[in-house]
């Protein structure tokens, strides 16, 4: 492959078999962390910036701003660097340090929010900050991944289609729910082209997206403290909520047993697959989307001290026993 721009290097046909998580069935994990931005969010970023370009605004005078827990900010910063656009990424203290450093390396302004919203997260606080900035700068444009249909459309046209064309028959599709752009796009594609496929949305305990009670979350990526406008509950057949410590266990197990370094969101999705495995008919074909790799989580999910600090009575004790 020879590309004109770095953001064109989206590898959409890479899957790995993880059948051991679904005994008696087949599991294909779609690896989204192998593109230059390191996550599925590169497709979202390209679509959001293109939508802004088509809105009639003048570039490069227009300055872009977006709320991000990490991966989208990195992807947007990469795209905007290549296009010569100014970008402000509004993130929070839960974002991985490496992700913030990457945004800055690409030339983005990074604002870190430390005030929790009414649901115990930071999303509404980030959006409130953006609202204040918009009121002060008429040349500032909010990309708004939470309400912009360009995000789900990108995953309908690219992610969903790539799964269907590469794997073919899929009885079950598991997709994580963060801003829900990937989930909504894939669900709509499969509703149209493979209506028999059962769509499972994967969320983290403490997220309010599917109506669960809010609580503190530590791993960025999946889950929200404010339901995104693009979310449509009717597009999803089933929902699995995963505790963060279970996601951590899954990530660390796959690293040690398969040499597969995945991000926290990916561990959440695969933990949901494992939980659902006993309900799957033998011979099922299961596809799961891995949103990102694990290199940005080496100081958190893969760090014994960090894990033991946050879950001392569960994963922390397991780590101690393994050391003994």
What is residue 6's three-state secondary structure? helix
- Enumerate the β-bridge partners of residue 26: 285
Which residue bears the tokens 């701003």?
65
Are the CB atoms for 57 and 82 separated by under 8 Å?
A: no
**Which residues are 94's β-sheet partners?**
none
Fold of 6-39+149-317: Rossmann fold (3.40.50)
- Model pTM score: 0.94
String of DSSP letters for 104-128: HHTT-EEEEE----TTSSSHHHHHH
Helix, coil or strand: residue 203:
strand
Task: Quickly tell me which residue has 């997206």 as its tokens.
Answer: 209
Is the model's pLDDT at 120 over the cut of 90?
A: no
Instruction: DSSP for 243-262, please give it.
Output: -HHHHHHHHHHHHHHH---B
**According to the model, what pLDDT value does residue 315 have?**
92
pLDDT of residue 54: 95
Q: Does residue 324 have a pLDDT over 80?
A: no
Token pair for residue 304? Answer: 């014994």
The dihedral over CA atoms of 241, 285, 232, 209, expressed in degrees to the nearest 10, equals: 10
Per-residue pLDDT tens digits for 57-98: 999 999 999 999 899 999 999 999 999 999 999 999 988 899
pLDDT at 303 over 90: yes
What pLDDT does 174 receive? 98
Q: Which of 269, 276, 273 is nearest to 292 (CA)?
A: 269
Digit-coded pLDDT (tens) for 3-21: 899 999 998 999 999 999 9
6-39+149-317 and 41-142 agree in CATH topology: yes
Whether residue 221 is predicted with pLDDT greater than 90 in this model: the reply is no
CA distance 272 to 288: 10
Lowest mean pLDDT among 87-96, 188-197, 213-222: 213-222
The CATH number of 41-142 is 3.40.50.1100
Residue boundaries of the structural domains of the chain:
6-39+149-317, 41-142
């Amino acid at each position: 492959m020879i590309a004109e721009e770095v953001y064109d290097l989206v590898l959409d046909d890479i899957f790995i078999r993880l059948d051991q998580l679904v005994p008696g069935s087949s599991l294909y994990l779609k690896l989204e962390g192998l593109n230059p931005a390191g996550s599925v969010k590169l497709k979202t970023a390209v679509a959001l910036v293109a939508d802004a370009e088509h809105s009639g605004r003048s570039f490069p005078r227009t300055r872009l701003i977006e709320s991000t827990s990490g991966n989208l900010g990195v992807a947007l910063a990469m795209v905007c660097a290549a296009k010569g656009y100014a970008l402000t990424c509004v993130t929070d203290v839960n974002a991985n340090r490496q992700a913030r450093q990457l945004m800055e390396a690409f030339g983005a302004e990074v604002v870190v929010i430390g005030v929790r919203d009414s649901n115990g997260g930071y999303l509404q606080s980030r959006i409130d900050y953006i609202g204040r900035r918009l009121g002060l700068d008429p040349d500032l444009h909010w990309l708004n991944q939470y309400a912009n249909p360009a995000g789900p459309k990108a995953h309908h046209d690219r992610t969903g289609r790539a799964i269907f064309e590469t794997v073919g028959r899929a009885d079950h599709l598991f997709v994580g729910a963060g801003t829900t752009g990937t989930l909504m796009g894939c669900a709509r594609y499969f509703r149209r082209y493979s209506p028999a496929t059962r769509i499972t949305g994967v969320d983290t305990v403490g997220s309010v997206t599917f109506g669960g009670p809010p609580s503190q979350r530590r791993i960025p990526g999946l889950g929200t403290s404010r339901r995104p406008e693009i979310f449509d509950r009717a597009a999803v057949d089933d929902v699995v909520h995963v505790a963060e410590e279970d996601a951590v266990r899954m990530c660390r197990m796959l690293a040690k047993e398969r040499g597969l370094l995945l991000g926290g969101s990916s561990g959440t999705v695969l933990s949901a697959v494992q939980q659902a495995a006993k309900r799957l008919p033998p011979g099922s074909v299961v596809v799961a989307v891995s949103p990102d790799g694990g290199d940005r989580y080496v100081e958190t999910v893969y760090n014994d001290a960090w894990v033991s600090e946050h879950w001392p009575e569960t994963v922390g004790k397991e780590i101690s026993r393994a050391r003994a």
